[in-house]
Structure 1
């Protein structure tokens, strides 16, 4: 049975046995820009892409750090949901328990391929805790400002205890309307620019 999907570049991604060579950076950027959070539901005309969310988490993690983050750490934040872009699916929390071990194994293999391709170090427990703090902060804020949940519902229904930000971390960087989801092509362009910038920084930091 066919287990591969064709990427926009023409490459074939084998979902059951992925390799780090099965996609290019533009494929990933476009996949994340066309994969939506909150089940695609939005209080805005457009849904929020995983690409836009990923940039926001990277900026929040950077802002929370007491020292400049190494480029590889910022890249790991940017790519923390990369497997969703390759798969084209971001499962909302209520259905995750029903997807089973097979789906979890599939996403784990995709994540491993991403870490290999971009030479990302494995999370330490402390680093992952800091990442989850930024991810939950983004989620709580998106729930209110993008998906239309109330702060009370974020606490009682979504069970997210993080602060709900008023200021959008993306607005200061991109001079965009706070909390407004970007069109897919713009999200892909901005994600790809960040991905390429960080890869150049890593090459510079590692030297010849």
Structure 2
């Protein structure tokens, strides 16, 4: 057996993923539950992707991009880890050891997700911006939650400072240290942010009951819903809000 059953009853095959089995609701549910750093960080993937999306929109704004481009950058930041709704979050050192056994599966899932939501070309367009934002979010997370620069002393048994191995302790921080504790808040943030950004890029027509997995989904429904969004938990230290 090479497939899994999702929370809403879809069947996703790792070897031959079917674009019609991908839904936004499944992705939102999963990412609101799956932990980062193999569970050694308190964050869930749902919060991480919102952080990356925000960082990309912040930098795109600073670079003078158009409103549509800023929203497109946000979509790329949000979607970059959508495959992990199906293949989990594998820590980078383990991912390197697994090699193509994992990366091929992740790539297939990425391709069908891009096709499902008609996002062709966006990852190539915002590749450099995504690379910066993802690394920024990951390294800030590691520093915040003692995943680098700390180690348990063999003598005292207490957590002590150690030289940082892969993060810069003096690097500028942009993200708040708020942890989104509520699963429904994380799910809501992923789903509604995606819908809002899709509208902003002229891709609202993609949002249907089939693609979202949410009955009654239409452009008008999404527009009415996103006009009265619940406030998102704080993401940036500056307090600036991009969605």
C-alpha distance after superposition, 1:171-190 (max 9, x if no partner): xxxxxxx3324333321111
* Structure with more contact order per residue of length (Cα contacts < 8 Å, sep ≥ 6): 1
Taking structure 2 as the reference length, what is the TM-score of the superposition?
Answer: 0.69
Report how many aligned residue pairs link the two structures. 189
Which whole-Å CA distance do the structure 2 matches of 1:162 and 1:26 have between them? 39
Determine if the alignment matches structure 1 residue 98 to structure 2 residue 97: yes
C-alpha distance after superposition, 1:120-166 (max 9, x if no partner): 13333x7211111111111111112235534986x841256993416
Please show how residues 111-190 of structure 1 align to structure 2 within 5 Å. Answer: 111-122=110-121, 123-124=123-124, 127-150=126-149, 156-159=164-167, 163-165=171-173, 167-168=175-176, 178-190=177-189
Which whole-Å CA distance do the structure 1 matches of 2:112 and 2:148 have between them? 35
Which whole-Å CA distance do the structure 2 matches of 1:37 and 1:53 have between them? 8
RMSD: 2.6
CA contact 2:57–2:70 (8 Å) conserved in 1? no
CA 1:161–1:192 in structure 2 vs 1: closer, same or farther (change >3 Å)?
same
Question: Paired residue for 2:78?
Answer: 78
Which whole-Å CA distance do the structure 2 matches of 1:19 and 1:73 have between them? 26
Question: Which ranges of structure 2 fall in alignment gaps of 5 or more residues?
Answer: 151-160, 206-243
Shift in Å, 1:85: 1.2
C-alpha distance after superposition, 1:30-66 (max 9, x if no partner): 1111222111113xxxx21111000011111111122
CA contact 2:83–2:109 (8 Å) conserved in 1? yes
Determine if the alignment matches structure 1 residue 55 to structure 2 residue 63: no
Question: Paired residue for 2:59?
Answer: 64
More displaced 10-residue stretch of structure 1: 12-21 or 142-151? 142-151
CA contact 2:148–2:167 (8 Å) conserved in 1? no
CA contact 1:38–1:147 (8 Å) conserved in 2? no
Question: Paired residue for 1:171?
Answer: none
CA 1:157–1:127 in structure 2 vs 1: closer, same or farther (change >3 Å)?
same
Which whole-Å CA distance do the structure 2 matches of 1:167 and 1:103 have between them? 30
Question: Which ranges of structure 1 fall in alignment gaps of 5 or more residues?
Answer: 169-177
Larger radius of gyration: 2
Between Structure 1 and Structure 2, the one with more helix by share is 1
Taking structure 1 as the reference length, what is the TM-score of the superposition?
Answer: 0.79
Which whole-Å CA distance do the structure 2 matches of 1:121 and 1:182 have between them? 33
- 3-state SS, counterpart of residue 82 of structure 1: coil
